Structure 1
Amino acid sequence: MNRLAGLVHRGWNRLGAYDLVRRGRDLELMHRALGFATLALVTLAPLLIVVAAADPLGRGGFASWLVDGMGLSGRSAQVLTDVISPPRTVIGTTSVLGGVALVVFGVTFAGSVQNGYERIWDLPAGPWHRVWRQAVWLLALTAYLYQEVQTRALLPGPLRIALTSTTGVLFFWWGQSFLLGGQVRPRDLLPGALATMAGLIGLRGFSYFVFTPLIVTNAISYGAVGIVLVVESWLIGVGFVVHGGALLGRWLLDHHGWPRTGG
């Protein structure tokens, strides 16, 4: 038994798995996932609600964005829609100052993601005047989520899966490079983008089997608060995947990829 444990230990060391665990601990990955979920709910969700309400195609509003992202269907999708969907008057009641405040709060969320990427790549924090990068990234994120929802009813299953997988990899590949200000070679960021998208696909499957029935039972037991708790749990998973995927990408590059020297 001791010999087997020694072989396993040496195998993990050879793979560099302990280094990956150490990096995740140094990054405080779970704390970052919790912070991601909190900021997403408090700063990003209100902005997306306004954007979804302004959708000229009117495909269900922000609730449909959540339903699609979480992979919900049937009664759970209907329960979430009944609780989350705001009235379309949200556009008329949002002032210019309120809209600016929503954008500023959204940029704060983007700044948190940027800080996570900088920590993963051991880079210093970017100067304050790079806030425009966060604003552009936020705009690109909104556009990415919007097209994800629109393709749900327009494309057949296999074609949509191929499109969303491709656009997802491209977004997370470009997003890392853009937020980092080009300080890391794009080719070095590709493994992280692939790992992030693979993680989101896995999270979607987990959500379908776990969160779909949980939303219904929580709605019965706790009402709207129970549904929000499920959504927040899903956002924690998204935050874990976004940061964990980038971290895994760097680990794969350092231990099993090409040298990171040269242009």
Structure 2
Amino acid sequence: MSGAPGGPTGPGAGPQGSRRTGASALTGPLPEHGRVRIAVHRIWRHGRELELMHRAMGFAALGFVTLVPLLIVVAAASPVHGAGFAGWVVDGLGLSGRSAQEVQDLFASPTQALSATTALSLAVASVFGISFMAAVQTGYERVWRLVPAAWHTVWRQTIGLAGLVGFLLVASWAGVPWQASPAQPAIRLLTALGGGVLFFWWTQWLLLGGRVPWRALFPGSLATVLALVGLRLFSQLVFRPLIISNALSYGVIGTVLVVQSWLVGVGFTVFAGALAGHAFWEHRLHHAGRDDAES
């Protein structure tokens, strides 16, 4: 009787069968809420290591000092956007009416910007813009835990800066064709979303020197664009009335503070989007490795 299916030597009996059952229970799939909790914890811990808010504030400060002067000149020279750089900021914040006027009053008109620009000042602004892209590259390297690139890779930052300027010009041009037609909003939306995903996807790959595969960078670019959309909605709800109230209370400096806060939000979304993409890719690799081990 010892060989009977229900006896001690059956497939489910004895200590060996109990060990198999326990191992299966321990290695079984986690509940969905458990996976989400673990993923959120990893992103939070990585964000603290990255000093995400501190890096976003540095992004805003460096961008306002080094990148904005270059963009003011480029926007003034662009033949497709008469409002200049102020119009770009107004579009990014989703402003209209008096709040838009308060932001436009911060910057010189395109004609004044071009008349005050010399070849030397343009060259200096370009060099400062490259330093801004270097800060973005450092942030991406920290997200992916990569060794900093060598100094001679500055050409990547130069190309990245040119790509940023080109993307902004294309995004502003998207508001020109068929302005009075129903297709115009769709053109702007497709350019902003599709072009934004492609730009951040390409920028990450370029600044990281191809050390991270293309497919691993796509989730981060998508998350960045979605976060920027959320930031624009937040700006319409919060920053638009805040600009008017701050302008009445503090004058020009109040508007500057709101614009600077918006730039902090942009920096946060840029690095947080890459961080979310990195977490998604690690999660995917982890599950792929576990599936291979189980098979």
TM-score past 0.5 threshold: yes
* 1:50 and 2:73 correspond: yes
Report the number of matched residues. Answer: 253
- Offset at residue 242 of structure 1 (A): 0.1
- Offset at residue 163 of structure 1 (A): 2.2
- Offset at residue 220 of structure 1 (A): 1.1
Q: Give me the whole-angstrom Cα distance separating, in 1, the residues matched to 2:36 and 2:238.
A: 34
Map 1:112-191 to 2 at 5 A: 112-154=135-177, 156-191=184-219
- Offset at residue 84 of structure 1 (A): 2.1
* 1:26 and 2:49 correspond: yes
Q: 1:23 to 1:143 in 2, by over 3 A?
A: same
- Offset at residue 259 of structure 1 (A): 5.2
Where does structure 2 lack aligned partners over 5 or more consecutive residues?
1-30, 179-183, 290-295
Instruction: Indicate if the aligned counterparts of 2:174 and 2:187 stay in contact, CA closer than 8 A.
Output: no
- Offset at residue 12 of structure 1 (A): 6.0
Q: Which residue of 2 aligns with 1:5?
A: none
Q: 1:87 to 1:160 in 2, by over 3 A?
A: closer
* 1:255 and 2:283 correspond: yes
Residue identity over aligned pairs, in percent, reads 49
Question: Is the partner of 1:230 in helix, strand or coil?
Answer: helix
Where does structure 1 lack aligned partners over 5 or more consecutive residues?
1-7
Q: Over aligned residues, Cα RMSD in angstroms?
A: 2.0
The structure, 1 or 2, with the larger RCO (C-alpha pairs under 8 Å, 6+ apart) is 1
Question: Is the partner of 1:59 in helix, strand or coil?
Answer: coil
Q: Give me the whole-angstrom Cα distance separating, in 1, the residues matched to 2:288 and 2:159.
A: 31
Deviation string 1:16-58 (CA, Å, 9 cap, x unpaired) is 2211110000000000000000011000001101111112335
1:111 to 120, 131, 134: 134
TM-score for both structures, normalised by structure 1: 0.90
Q: Give me the whole-angstrom Cα distance separating, in 2, the residues matched to 1:58 and 1:149.
A: 6
TM-score for both structures, normalised by structure 2: 0.81
2:61 to 16, 26, 38: 38
**AA matched with 1:255:** H
Runs of at least 4 residues of structure 1 off by over 6 A? none
* 1:198 and 2:221 correspond: no
Q: Give me the whole-angstrom Cα distance separating, in 2, the residues matched to 1:234 and 1:38.
A: 11
Q: 1:12 to 1:185 in 2, by over 3 A?
A: closer
* Bigger CA radius of gyration: 2
Instruction: Indicate if the aligned counterparts of 1:12 and 1:18 stay in contact, CA closer than 8 A.
Output: no
Q: Which residue of 1 aligns with 2:12?
A: none
- Offset at residue 152 of structure 1 (A): 2.5
Q: Give me the whole-angstrom Cα distance separating, in 1, the residues matched to 2:52 and 2:225.
A: 17
Q: Give me the whole-angstrom Cα distance separating, in 2, the residues matched to 1:84 and 1:94.
A: 14
Instruction: Indicate if the aligned counterparts of 1:15 and 1:255 stay in contact, CA closer than 8 A.
Output: no
**AA matched with 1:73:** S
- Offset at residue 103 of structure 1 (A): 0.5
**AA matched with 1:85:** A
Q: Give me the whole-angstrom Cα distance separating, in 2, the residues matched to 1:259 and 1:101.
A: 48
